[in-house]
Chains A and B, each alone.
Chain A
Amino acid sequence: SQTIHQWPATLVQPVGSPLSLECTVEGTSNPNLYWYRQAAGRGLQLLFYSVGIGQISSEVPQNLSASRPQDRQFILSSKKLLLSDSGFYLCAWTMKTETYGYTFGSGTRLTVV
């Protein structure tokens, strides 16, 4: 069966510090991968998605970046965090078929102080 791992679960970082969140998927190959952010009490905002190694599409221009160095690994990074980067970050994956929905990792709650 497929599983998705995301870490860390919580993170408190000072303004201006770097960020690296990692997500890995097991039990499947060539998935589509996604990074979402969710502000408190708000909906899901798509940040990046990837359909293959090295292929990254950005939905929201900002100081965040994403990379996919391996088929089942997706990394969200920032060189310098802003206060506005605080939120709940979710990684998700799906198969490249019509009927699949997204399966989410457990999320990372980031607080920038």
Chain B
Amino acid sequence: GQNIDQPTEMTATEGAIVQINCTYQTSGFNGLFWYQQHAGEAPTFLSYNVLDGLEEKGRFSSFLSRSKGYSYLLLKELQMKDSASYLCAVKDSNYQLIWGAGTKLIIKP
């Protein structure tokens, strides 16, 4: 079966750095996506990785290792507005997105 695992909840302090991990086992791989979802709102796109390595976009970076079936999202200089759920998703061999359950990130002052 297809499976994506990420921690249920994480807590971090404003101004700090946090890393959210995602491991996946899917039938085929055509890219990994990270989405941010604030409570009561729709998910919004954060990043896309299809090759191994680090993609940096402002305060957010995403890393991929295809051989390990592993990715992480790194958030730097945390702000209170970063409190949200972060969803990891993988495009499988049929180009359909398989979703993780999401990681709820709580930022404390």
A interface with B by C-beta (< 8 Å): 41-44, 46, 49, 88, 90, 96, 98-99, 101-107, 109
Contact = CB atoms under 8 A, between A and B. Distances in A.
23 contacts: A41-B104, A43-B99, A43-B101, A44-B43, A44-B99, A46-B99, A49-B96, A88-B40, A98-B30, A98-B50, A98-B91, A98-B95, A99-B31, A99-B50, A101-B33, A101-B35, A101-B48, A102-B97, A105-B42, A106-B41, A106-B42, A107-B41, A107-B42
A89 B45 CA distance: 18
A101 B45 contact: yes
Contacts of A41: 104
A41 B102 CA distance: 9
A102 B34 CA distance: 11
Contacts, number: 44
B8 to A, nearest CB: 9
A99 B47 CA distance: 11
Contacts of A46: 96, 99
